[in-house]
Chains A and B, each alone.
Chain A
């Protein structure tokens, strides 16, 4: 494909876009696994949310 006399500018623009979008994806996915690990670590230590704790018998689920 012939990108003409300004091919460098076109390639630089697309490369920058790919790099920035790639960084965003890596950041979001990396953060997801970090938070998942942190929650799993807390759960392993017995620290859970009240809603995640087993309910005493006779107590109904909220609507």
Chain B
């Protein structure tokens, strides 16, 4: 099947039906291996067992930005190539991105209290991630405000591309400003600063959350295509009546 064939929603649905069971199985397996590794990994020499929060906080923080990245690519697909599934992909990624950003914020707070002595501080990293969460909510609200999916898709695409400016701000906030949040310790020049015994379970949990996102995103896209079919059929029926 050529990539262009996936522009056809019916072919896309057939592909999702085939792929989804395998993705579910891979996600469950990755979480089983990742969680086992996370709980068998040694404690941090400074943080003790509290470091176990890292295995859910960090993958969620990665996903919070990755989901906006996916939406930005989809926004280009909507505005430049007018791909019929691009705005479907963008719309379905927004609630998932919001949920993962919420988890990054909450688990970060729960990690911060014992380590920093506070749940929240208005530093650049935390504030820029909170802004990202609010932008997700704004996008979801925009989708719900406009009835016509095509019009909503174009408006949301513009807002998504404007909001993408926040991604490098989040990534480099710990370098550009003096923050309570630690600097990058995995994806950085000179390699990770985390010991390999903690890094491997972290990567496995990262893969598990990525697979979860992919699975839920494809399933939500399938639902959205079906919802649009229902809408079209109801409109057609109303026109005939």
Please classify how large the interface on chain B is, using the bins under 10, 10 to 19, 20 to 34, 35 or more: 35 or more
Residues of B within 8 A of A47 (CB): 233-234, 236-237
- Interface majority SS (helix, strand, loop, mixed), chain A: helix
**How far is the CB of A57 from the nearest CB of chain B, in Å?**
23
The answer on a CB contact under 8 Å between A13 and B230 is no
Given contacts A6-B114, A9-B110, A13-B107, A49 and B233 within 8 Å (CB-CB): yes
Given contacts A16-B107, A28-B216, A42 and B233 within 8 Å (CB-CB): yes
Residues of A within 8 A of B219 (CB): 28-29, 32
Given contacts A28-B216, A49-B233, A13 and B106 within 8 Å (CB-CB): yes
Instruction: Check B60 for interface membership: any CB of A closer than 8 A.
Output: yes
Chain A residues numbered 1-35 whose CB sits less than 8 Å from any CB in chain B: 1-7, 9-10, 12-14, 16-17, 20-21, 23-25, 27-29, 31-32, 35
Q: Which A residue sits closest to B217, measured CB to CB? A: A28
When chains A and B are docked, how far (Å) is the Cα of A55 from the Cα of B99? Answer: 45
- Interface majority SS (helix, strand, loop, mixed), chain B: helix
**How far is the CB of A44 from the nearest CB of chain B, in Å?**
12
Residues of A within 8 A of B216 (CB): 24-25, 28
When chains A and B are docked, how far (Å) is the Cα of A27 from the Cα of B94? Answer: 14
When chains A and B are docked, how far (Å) is the Cα of A54 from the Cα of B197? Answer: 61
Chain B residues numbered 182-221 whose CB sits less than 8 Å from any CB in chain A: 212, 216, 219-220
Q: Which of B52, B114, B227, B232 neighbours the largest number of chain A CB atoms within 10 Å of its CB?
A: B52
The answer on a CB contact under 8 Å between B230 and A39 is yes
Residues of A within 8 A of B106 (CB): 13, 16
The answer on a CB contact under 8 Å between A13 and B110 is yes
When chains A and B are docked, how far (Å) is the Cα of A61 from the Cα of B62? Answer: 45
Where the two chains meet, the residues of B that have a C-beta atom closer than 8 Å to any C-beta of A are: 10, 39, 43, 48-50, 52-53, 56-57, 60, 95-96, 99, 102-103, 106-107, 110-111, 113-114, 212, 216, 219-220, 222-223, 226-227, 229-230, 232-234, 236-237
